[in-house]
Each structure stands twice: as structure tokens, then as C-alpha cells.
Amino acid sequence: MAKRTVKDLDVKGKKVIVRVDFNVPITDGVITDDNRIQGALPTINYLVDNGAKVILMSHLGKVNHKDAEKLQADMASKSLLPVANALQKLVDAKVHFVASTRGKELEDSINELAEGEILIVENTRFEVGETKNDSKLSEYWASLGDLFVNDAFGTAHRAHASNVGIGSILPSALGFLVEKEVEMLSKAVYNAEKPVVAIIGGAKVSDKILVIENLLKTADKILIGGGMAYTFFKAQGLEIGNSLLEEDRLDVAKDILEKGKGKIVLPVDHVIANDFANPTDVKTVDVDQTPKGYMGLDIGPKTLELFRKELDGAKTVIWNGPMGVFEKEQFAKGTIGICEIIADLPGAMSVIGGGDSASAAINNGFADDFSHISTGGGASLEFMEGKELPGIAIVQDK
Ligand code: ADP
Ligand code: MG
């Protein structure tokens, strides 16, 4: 059943608590990438325009509650104040910031909010109970508002007080950002137009086993690249040199190869190097020609051609995980090549779920070539595994 969205709520004059994802990178007090703030603007502006009193809550980074000194340092460096300043420049409404997560100042400021004004609560993780979904904390935070909107996809796979806790108490709805994530990911994973081709890469098989198993149910082909391919090669008895290997996943790899017969496509050639940190000898060879002492760090041109053929005619493409060590230019060609192939596919719905693959596509200029690039790394991964995300499950159905 479809979840309620902000449009299903009567927000005029109401105190609306919105869980946003303002977990942005900050260096020396400067926000280096404000994508996540931009992403929350449609929901924030809608609420402002419709006369809500908007209370924004988010975490920022990790906060160490086990060590008093570290806690103090985190509380000094992980304040949401720079985010409040940045948001003020992006919206027409007044933005208030309260440097606490509870207490009289916060309560008074909320009670003094005018319709169409915004208040940002300090970093939710300054509360030790946040990540424990502490019921007292959830009740307290819920008491500050009338309605709850979840617009933080990046934390939807976690049951914390500021999403699941508040959401289980107040009337709730999804924000526009999460609505779009759910719509696009559901379409790709559960209601995809066939043929469906999934591309799975990244470092470890262990991270992606559940994704592969779930996608095997719906995908016509699964193209595998990246470091995880080597555990499959090893399972097939190939020499893989010093390439990434998860010995304890060889049986799982064998099992997946068996289950996915006819569907799973592995690389045929790869770029190998004699050293990871300081590669002095880099060459491209077929996967059955890997010399001892070398490691595979990217897919090769024959593989890109093979993958291009497999993707030809696809109506749905789901991509998770880079094809190589794309952070180094030398080993980025496979990942960029996949971006180019997908960009050239006419009429296919294409979705990226996965933090590193998303940033590879965005940083190489392919942001507009995909139907959807998920904002949640871990959350999109769990969605593709077929798991229910607690931050979404808690939101009321229409
Ligand atoms: P995503 O975040 O998109 O889900 P992952 O986190 O699973 O992707 O994997 C990304 C990481 O995998 C990158 O840091 C990349 O360098 C690494 N990687 C890809 N291919 C290889 C390889 N052949 N050897 C070692 N690491 C690899
Ligand atoms: Mg990653």
C-alpha cells in the first residue's frame, strides 16, 4: 500500500517535525557539498508555503558517547549551525537555529515559531538515546510537534529515535525526497519493465550477496565486476594472483553461480597491476591469464564490450558498485565506461543505488544520464536486498 506523503497532511498552523538528511561534509566549518540540503528543499518549501511551523531534525556525522573527551570534541565540531546558515541562504523563510536537542530554550523557540518559519534542532546524535531509538527521548521529541514527516532516505534503514521513534507516535507522512526514492527504487526492483539488467560491483561479495540473491528473482542478467568478481573467479578455479578474495565466501560464490546459471556474466579481461599503492607495472590481460603477484583493479575493454551487448535493449538497469578502483584514474575506465554505456541506452530506466557508484557517476559528469541516483548508500542497498526499511515502514499508509 502507498505511504502518505506531505500532501496528505493538513499542515497549516501545525508544528511539523521533519527528519531531513543534513549529514553533509563539512571542512573547517565550510560545507563542501550541499546536495543533501538542496535535496530537502522541495519538502521544506512546500511546508513553508502551506503555513506550517517547520521543525527540522538531522544527525551530522558520528558522535562518540563512550569517551567524554571525544564527545566534547564531536559536540564542538559537529554542530548543525553551518547547515542552518547555509539553509538560510537557500530559502525565503526565516531560519532559526537552537544549539540544543532538548530543554526550555528549544521548547520556547518552537512555541514562538510563526507559520512559515523554520527551526533547526541541534545534531540529533548529541543525544545518546538517538541511535538506540530510546522511547523516552522519542516521546519527548514527539511532544514538540503535531505531525511528523520523514524526508531522510539515507537513515531510513536505521531505527533511530528521530525517525522511527517520533514516527511511531505522531501522525506521519513521507517527504518528497523519500517519496521519489521509494517510487523509483520500487519500480526498478519490484515493478521493472523487462528486460532487466543489473550491474553489481564494489569491493566485497559479502556486502552484495543479498542484493544478488534478491535481484536474481527479477533480473534477466546480472553483470558482475569490481573486486567481488575475484571470489567468483577463484570459485571457478582461476588464478587470481593477489586480487581481492574472500575465502570464507567461496561456497556462497559457487552457490550463486549455480543458481544464476545463464544470468550471471563475469568479466573476460581486466586491468592488473603489480602493486596497489604504488603500481609500476599495469597491463590488461584476459581473466585466465593473471600472473601470480598481480592484482585485478578494473574491468578491461573486452568486458566493457561484452557488458555493452548485454545491456543493449535493456528496459531497466540497476547499478550498484563500481567496476574497479575508480578513485584512481588508472583504474576508473571500467566504471566510467559503464556510465557511458548506460547514458547511451535509449528509453531504459536506470537507477544507481550505492554510495560509491553514485559519487563515481556524479563526479564524472553523468548525473543527468540516469533516471534516478539514490541519495542513500546503505539504505538503497538494503532496499535492493528486499528488506523493509524501518524509517519508511513506520510511516502511515494512505
Ligand atoms: P557502493 O558504495 O557503490 O555500494 P562499494 O562500497 O561496494 O560500492 O565498493 C566500492 C569500493 O570498491 C571502491 O572503494 C573501490 O575502490 C573498490 N573496488 C572496486 N573494484 C575493486 C578491485 N578490483 N579491487 C579492490 N577494490 C575494488
Ligand atoms: Mg560504498
Render pLDDT for 133-156 as a digit per residue (tens, 0 to 9).
999 999 999 999 999 999 999 999
Whether residue 251 has pLDDT greater than 90: yes
Q: State in Å: Cα 203 to ligand 1 middle.
A: 4
Whether residue 131 has pLDDT greater than 90: yes
Whether residue 29 has pLDDT greater than 90: no
Please report the pLDDT score of residue 35 as a whole number.
87
Task: Provide the percentage of residues in the chain whose pLDDT is more than 90.
Answer: 96
pLDDT confidence of 376, banded at 50, 70, 90?
confident
Angle at 376 between CA 307 and CA 118, to 5 degrees: 145
Q: Quick one: 185-384 is in which CATH superfamily? A: Phosphoglycerate kinase, N-terminal domain (3.40.50.1260)
Instruction: Tell me the ligand closest to 204's alpha carbon.
Output: 1
Residues 102, 187, 204, 308: which is the catalytic one? Answer: 204
pTM of the model: 0.91
Where in the sequence of the chain do the CATH 3.40.50.1260 domains occur? Answer: 6-177, 185-384
Q: State in Å: Cα 1 to ligand 1 middle.
A: 35
Are the C-beta atoms of residues 295 and 241 closer than 8 Å to each other?
Answer: yes
Q: What is the mean pLDDT of residues 101-117?
A: 98
Are the C-beta atoms of residues 125 and 131 closer than 8 Å to each other?
Answer: yes
Whether residue 63 has pLDDT greater than 90: yes
CATH architecture assignment, domain 6-177? 3-Layer(aba) Sandwich (3.40)
Which H/E stretch holds residue 231?
Answer: helix 229-235
User: Mean pLDDT over all residues of the chain?
Assistant: 96
Please report the pLDDT score of residue 28 as a whole number.
85
For ligand 1, say whether the CB of 255 is within 6 Å of any of its atoms: no
Q: What is the mean pLDDT of residues 188-209?
A: 95
Residues 36, 158, 221, 263: which is the catalytic one? Answer: 36
Q: What is the mean pLDDT of residues 241-264?
A: 97
Catalogue the E-assigned strands of the chain: 15-19, 26-27, 30-31, 53-57, 95-98, 118-121, 147-150, 172-174, 196-200, 221-224, 264-265, 269-273, 282-286, 295-299, 316-320, 349-352, 372-373
Q: What is the mean pLDDT of residues 108-135?
A: 98
Under 8 Å CB-to-CB from 196, ≥6 apart: which residues?
218, 219, 220, 221, 314, 315, 316, 317, 318
Please report the pLDDT score of residue 53 as a whole number.
98
